[in-house]
Amino acid sequence: MDNVQLLISGLANGCVYGLIALGFVLIYKATEAVNFAQGDFMMLGAFVTIGLTNTEYMGLPFWMALPISIGIMAGLGYLLDRLVIRRMFGQSQTAVVILTIALGFVIRFVAGLIWGHEPQTLQNPLAGREIAFGGLVLGMEDVAVIVVTVLLTGSLFLFFSRTKLGLAMQGASQNQLAAYYMGIPVKRVQGFIWALAGAVAAIAGILFAAKGSVDPSTGLLGIKAFAAAVIGGFGSLPGALAGGLIVGVIEPFASRYIAAGYSQIAPYALLLAVLVFRPHGLFSQVRVKKV
């Protein structure tokens, strides 16, 4: 029973990693860029929601604040693409990586200025409620996290593999110029994807802040989520979730069964192992370039 409890809380954590990883993969799939600031987006999403709902700030009702903060983050994602990323058209992947790392610094700085550096928790209707389930006691937040994540990943996966727009987005990433000639509005597609990634980050942030507390340095969680995305194979949405879950589960088990310090090491050791033996993640898409 103890292990099951550990597993569930690991899964709930993993879902948050998975959602951030999802943001990475979304942007990568559609624009071939890597947004290293995705973790900071998540943190910002959490703070925006806290700023809207918590009584010491605006004190809006929780269910009203949700769509507003998701909308704000989507807008920020879109603006970011519009004002910054779009100018990077044609520059190397590494340049975009460095740019978004810098962006992460800026977001953390701004969040620190607005909301301070103290850890804060999102006041939400699920807080403290529990469900008993055949001897298991689960926090409502954990259950909500898992359900929301599975639903979101599933619908995004269907969107990309079944709808015309989703396929067009994949096309846009493979060859921007060719996609443009095929009549795909590459720029609009990119803007939409960044907005979507912003919205997903907001959801991840809300879930994270409901479960625990956030402070500006929470954004660094993005690094772990990025590791998760790579473990799952960059470029596959279910893979991102799987990677997130693996990382989430491996952490509590490593600290339980090896030693306390190992919960930090385990995800990265796993990442190194995956990269050494399967250089492009578990579900690789890389083939040899034609000359």
Partner 1 sequence: MRIVFKTDYMQDIRPWKDRYQLSLYLILLAVVFAAPWVLDVFYLGELTNVLIWAIAGMGLMVLTGHTGQASLGHAAFLAFGCYSNVILLEAGVPFILAFPLAGVITGIIGALVAIPALRLHGIYLAIFTLAMSILVDDIIVLTEPWSGGVSGKYIAGIDLFGLTIDRWGTPMLFYWLVLAVTVIVTLGYINLLRSPLGRSFIAVRDSEVSAQAMGVDIARTKTISFGLSCMVTGWAGAFMGLFAGAFNNETFSVVISIELLMMIVIGGLGSIHGAFFGAIIIGFLPQFLSIAKEYVGAVFGGSTVAIPGLEFGIFGMILIAFILFEPMGIYGRWLKIRTFFELFPFYRKDMFKRQKSYLKTERLR
Q: Provide the binding-site residues for partner 1, judged by CB under 8 A.
A: 32, 34, 84, 87-91, 93-95, 97-99, 101-106, 108-110, 112-113, 117, 173-177, 216, 223, 226-227, 230, 234-235, 261, 264-265, 268-269, 271-272, 275-276, 279-281, 285-291
* Closest CB to partner 1 among residues 131, 272: 272
* Closest CB to partner 1 among residues 202, 266: 266
* Closest CB to partner 1 among residues 164, 289: 289
Residue 244 sits at the vertex; the CA angle it makes with 154 and 217, to the nearest 5 degrees, is: 120
Nearest CA-CA partner of 25 in 184, 205, 169:
169
**Least Cβ distance, residue 139 to partner 1 (angstroms):** 29
Record the tokens describing residue 198, joined without a space.
Answer: 């912003």
* Closest CB to partner 1 among residues 56, 277: 277
- Specify the residue for token string 């996966």: 157
Phi, psi (degrees; rounded to nearest 5) at 3 = -65, -35
**Least Cβ distance, residue 179 to partner 1 (angstroms):** 10
**Least Cβ distance, residue 19 to partner 1 (angstroms):** 19
**Least Cβ distance, residue 237 to partner 1 (angstroms):** 16
Under a CB-based contact definition with an 8 Å cutoff, are residues 207 and 144 in contact?
yes
The secondary structure of 132-160 as a DSSP string is EETTEEEEHHHHHHHHHHHHHHHHHHHHH
* Closest CB to partner 1 among residues 31, 53: 31
**Least Cβ distance, residue 241 to partner 1 (angstroms):** 18
d(Cα 79, Cα 263) in Å, to the nearest integer?
Answer: 37
Q: How far is CA 269 from the centre of its chain?
A: 21
* Closest CB to partner 1 among residues 155, 175: 175
Q: Is 33 left (phi over 0), alpha (psi -120 to 50) or beta?
A: beta
**Least Cβ distance, residue 177 to partner 1 (angstroms):** 4
